[in-house]
Amino acid sequence: MSHLILVRHGQSEWNLENRFTGWVDVDLAPKGKLEACKAGELIKELNLEINHFFSSYQKRAIETLKLMLVTMRIKNDKVIKAWELNERHYGSLTGLNKDEMKKKLGEDKIHIFRRSWDKPPEPLNKNNPYHPLNIEIYKDIPKDKIPDTESLKDTYDRVIPYFKKNIEKKISENVMISAHGNSIRSLCKYLFDISNDEISKLEIPTGNPLILEFDSNIKLLNAKYLDKERAKDLLKFG
């Protein structure tokens, strides 16, 4: 049996402030650091030999993985960072408070922007300091690959090709990915074969390891959260 462990980064400073974050590179909040350490403890209890580690380009995911590995007493010199695993780009909503935008635009519209499959927010102006073009960590990404906004479908369309090419074949050797709510939702949609409508119901909690078990043919057998008190409904998967 082989394993894929998916971990959404611990609570970030902008999670705490209830702001749309997307590709902005924010730090973990103190609670997020504790969540990451607890995640490491829970994974350590599995006594698995994990051979491959991936994270997004964003420091909240990188730091979460680093804290987990320190807790697990594993050297982190094998971590692969991929911008394709970044959070979804929230376009013109980036940096804004979610509750304030609900009051301004209405709960239904914000729900569509947050949970729908293929409806992105308005694009973020390229001159905005929160645009990825103006963030240092993305300077080596081809400009034509950097989005102005994204739907979940757009996120899926970069996450899944990267996963198929670089990660899926390594699952037999056990893999851990530290990423984000929507990049992990994209992976779950693919791995659980969740429909475009049903994916809107899937939520991913911060800092709670989701462990997927596969047979020798990389067929998914089971999936569960390690912290049962903070687990979310995984829906039915095939």
- Catalytic residue positions? 9, 87
Q: Residue 61: which region, alpha, beta or left (left: phi > 0; alpha: psi -120 to 50)?
A: alpha
List Cβ neighbours of 182 (8 Å cut-off, separation of 6 or more): 87, 88, 152, 155
The span from the CA of 170 to the CA of 67, in Å, is: 23
Nearest to 226 by CA among 60, 51, 36, 67: 36
Q: Residue 95: which region, alpha, beta or left (left: phi > 0; alpha: psi -120 to 50)?
A: left
The span from the CA of 197 to the CA of 194, in Å, is: 8
Query: Three-state SS for 34?
Result: helix
The span from the CA of 72 to the CA of 76, in Å, is: 10
76: amino acid identity, one letter: N
